[in-house]
Amino acid sequence: MPHTVQGIVSRAKGAPVELVDIVVPDPGPGEAVVDVQACGVCHTDLHYREGGITDDYPFLLGHEAAGVVSAVGDGVTHVAVGDTVVLNWRAVCGECRACKRGEPRYCFNTHNAAQPMTLPDGTPLSPALGIGAFCEKTLVHAGQCTKVDPDVDPAVAGLLGCGVMAGLGAAVNTAPVRRGQTVAVIGCGGVGCAAVAGAVLAGARRVIAIDLDESKLARARDLGATHTVCSAGMTEDDVVAAIRAQTDGVGADVVIDAVGRPETWRQAFYGRDLAGTVVLVGVPTPDMQLSVPLADVFGRGGALKSSWYGDCLPERDFPALLELYARGRLPLDAFVSERIGLGDVEEAFATMQRGEVLRSVVVLDGDRA
């Protein structure tokens, strides 16, 4: 029997999100239904609401989630009812040209559920990043379920499903930061602070955190940033000079742009040392254009990379990161700024825009301790 549950839907560009009934079908072949326990509010959800990703309204938002598998369809073997899972948006296909050449982190044909979740009138919902988890139950492809230790707080575990993995992986997997390097991170929300934590984990000798907001810089310091730069009111050149001032005048080996705007990318481009690496992890909107002298692209050398989902492989990375967390080497709980209810997502977007949180996390078991 399909289930009718409550979920957070974005119906039109820029309009406030709504808590409405949604219909979750029984899982078909290869699919699973997951009872969501926790789901973080990521800036990408707000990008969806603003029309910055696609125009396929209505969206079922939420994609940073942990929960328990409550039903599986035919042919599902790698997860079972009762398993605690983190949902991922990289269920690799094993067959596309990226997978075939041994680079499944770039998989071009990741699996999502074949059936749509719908509004009660049958209107299909577009689930954010193929997940849609601001709801009590969600339907996903079974490959989107990564089994994890059931003892970990779901509000913490779920964050690996997007922002924390994206930021941490941008440093550890995409750059990749090596022991003794200097790293600058521009934008220290949930994603950027995770990049700071990743740089620390990888053994960076200096980590320079840059944000417009002092309170974010305090969080970055808690996570191991060695220097901070409040860039409010600064020009692009000022930010570049501030990075150079903390890196013996030469620029950082790696600069991670966790904002995703032309000006922050240029700050990253010029803030890195010659032959250094830029990693773009913030998501630009379709209207943004970049202009850089080609001679500088040539003359400064190095690597200009983009990082999708921290180049992670969920089955490899989620359990490993949770083990580091359990051993006290990765302070994942520092990312959970507040626990909120399903009906509070619109307010959480405002809280995020005011820069007050790394992550607001929707919890569905009533426990908002």
Ligand X SMILES: NC(=O)c1ccc[n+]([C@@H]2O[C@H](COP(=O)([O-])OP(=O)(O)OC[C@H]3O[C@@H](n4cnc5c(N)ncnc54)[C@H](O)[C@@H]3O)[C@@H](O)[C@H]2O)c1
Residue 11 interacting entry, from Zn ion, ligand X, none, C-beta within 5 to 8 Å by type: none
With beta carbons less than 8 A apart as the criterion, state whether 280 and 265 touch. yes
Residues 37, 91: Cα–Cα separation, whole Å: 21
Residues 284, 191: Cα–Cα separation, whole Å: 14
Contact string (CB under 6 A) for ligand X, positions 223-242, x = contact? --------x-----------
Find where tokens 């409040």 sit: 230
Task: Answer yes or no whether residue 41 interacts with Zn ion by CB under 5 A.
Answer: no
Strands (E), 79-237: 84-87, 126-127, 137-141, 145-147, 182-186, 206-211, 227-230
Task: Answer yes or no whether residue 166 interacts with ligand X by CB under 6 A.
Answer: yes
Which burial class, exposed, middle or buried, applies to 47 when counting CB atoms under 10 A from its CB (0-12, 13-18, 19+)? Answer: middle
Instruction: State which of residues 10, 181, 307, 337 lies at the interface with ligand X (CB under 6 A).
Output: 307
For the CB of residue 61, give the shortest distance to Zn ion in the complex, in Å: 10
Contacts of 235 (CB under 8 A, 6+ apart): none
Task: Answer yes or no whether residue 185 interacts with ligand X by CB under 6 A.
Answer: no
SS3 311: helix
Residue 93 interacting entry, from Zn ion, ligand X, none, C-beta within 5 to 8 Å by type: Zn ion
Which one, 116 or 355, has the nearer CB to ligand X?
A: 355
CA 191 to chain centre: 6
Instruction: State which of residues 10, 37, 44, 267 lies at the interface with Zn ion (CB under 5 A).
Output: 44
Residues 42, 131: Cα–Cα separation, whole Å: 13
Task: Answer yes or no whether residue 62 interacts with ligand X by CB under 6 A.
Answer: no
Q: How does DSSP classify residue 160?
A: G
For the CB of residue 208, give the shortest distance to ligand X in the complex, in Å: 12
Contact string (CB under 6 A) for ligand X, positions 259-298, x = contact? xxx--x----------------xxx---------------
Instruction: State which of residues 68, 93, 119, 334 lies at the interface with Zn ion (CB under 5 A).
Output: 93
Task: Answer yes or no whether residue 53 interacts with ligand X by CB under 6 A.
Answer: no
Which one, 2 or 224, has the nearer CB to ligand X?
A: 224
Residues that bind ligand X (CB under 6 A): 42-44, 47, 162-163, 166, 186-192, 210-213, 216, 231, 258-261, 264, 281-283, 307-309, 352, 355
